[in-house]
Amino acid sequence: MDVKSPPAFLSPRELGRMMEGRPSSVQPVDCRSFLHYNSDRITGSVNIFCPPLVKKRFCSSLLPLDNMLSAETRATLCRPGVGVVVLYDDDSDEESWQTPRCDLQLVMDSLVTFFQHHDLAFFVLAGGYSCFQRECPHLCSSHTSLSGQLKSLDRIHVHTPHPQSQTHPSAHMSFHTISPVELLPYLYIGDASHASMKEQLQDVSITAILNVSTCCRNHFPHDFRYKVIPVEDSNCADLSTWFSDAFQFIEQEKQRGGKVLVHCRGGISRSATVCLAYLMYSRALRLDDAFAYVRARRHIISPNAGFMMQLAQFEAELRNLGFDRASMPLKPALSPCRLFSHSKSAFDLTTETESTSTARSPTSDVSPSLSCVPLVS
């Protein structure tokens, strides 16, 4: 397919027949927002979303898919047997294809160019997801966590977070007996009890643990990689200065093909704050959207008033800097939230050599002092 040629459209029934007859040969690509994709989608879809800032920056060229696509998405699109890729959004059809509000054309052109050496045929779903869901509801699915324990939470009404809300611990006892909650394929949130259950962690393939506390033990230093962020759950504590370190730890584990558990003592305030910040950074989400997404999966989260203020400030700084993930290097992660870090510059951080990593313990010690190193120019 030529990049500039108009796309071929498939009707919902045509796509449905292809998925029922030759499911392994068809790969749907959901171009809606991260939140819409995680709410419900065509079964088997991967998500390639073009945020407004990215669209504005690359509207006259092609998207930097080399940085935007995860290894999992690339492997899914290029897996043996796939011959048809079908893009869809909410409701685009042939009439709306050329309108400025349609992001599909930019994504389509970028994918065709990026995979030009692969034998793939690209199509657009006429009428988008809304039409497909009406005609083929049995081929649509809603988000569930990997362990399946939170299916019912997606139906819970999400209220606007109140920074001073307090929840009695007895109301959460049932949560302490289940697995950590999957937020992304490589990111889980939990509490101290989850971090102490080795078999449960291994059941969901956790490989690294981000301990956001001053009192929780690192129980299995020979089995998991650890990082400690020693912050109290206090309105006066500054957790945002650790965002850069947390993002880097998560991104490095993701690049290794691993999975990270982020936990604090109760899995309510500190770990939730780190996960919210990471979703805002990595998925271009507003704070309200990130909060709704996490709370729908772990409804007991409640960052304290100080952390909520820091997240609001982080959101403002991301927006003021015109931050978009596609324009930043994927490795390592960059946090524009502060002009200094607890370690070294995010631009200078590199993966340790194999010999260095094998000589050190999997447990990462806390940085002994604060060094002021610019993170943004």
Residues annotated as part of the active site:
264
Question: Measured between alpha carbons, how far is 271 from 78 in angstroms, rounded to an integer?
Answer: 35
**DSSP conformational letter for 137:** G
Q: Give all strands (DSSP E) within the chain, no chain letters.
A: 8-10, 26-30, 40-42, 46-47, 84-88, 121-125, 140-142, 181-184, 187-190, 208-211, 225-228, 260-263
Smallest CA-to-CA distance from 129 within 94, 103, 91 is with 91
Question: Measured between alpha carbons, how far is 111 from 250 in angstroms, rounded to an integer?
Answer: 27
Contact present, 376 and 327 (Cβ < 8 Å): no
Contact present, 120 and 151 (Cβ < 8 Å): no
Torsional sign, CA 231, 233, 237, 239:
positive
Question: Measured between alpha carbons, how far is 284 from 92 in angstroms, rounded to an integer?
Answer: 23
**DSSP conformational letter for 367:** P
Give the pairing type, strands 26-30 and 121-125. Answer: unpaired
Number of H helices, E strands in the chain: 14, 12
Contact present, 275 and 183 (Cβ < 8 Å): yes
Smallest CA-to-CA distance from 228 within 244, 252, 209 is with 209
Contact present, 188 and 204 (Cβ < 8 Å): yes
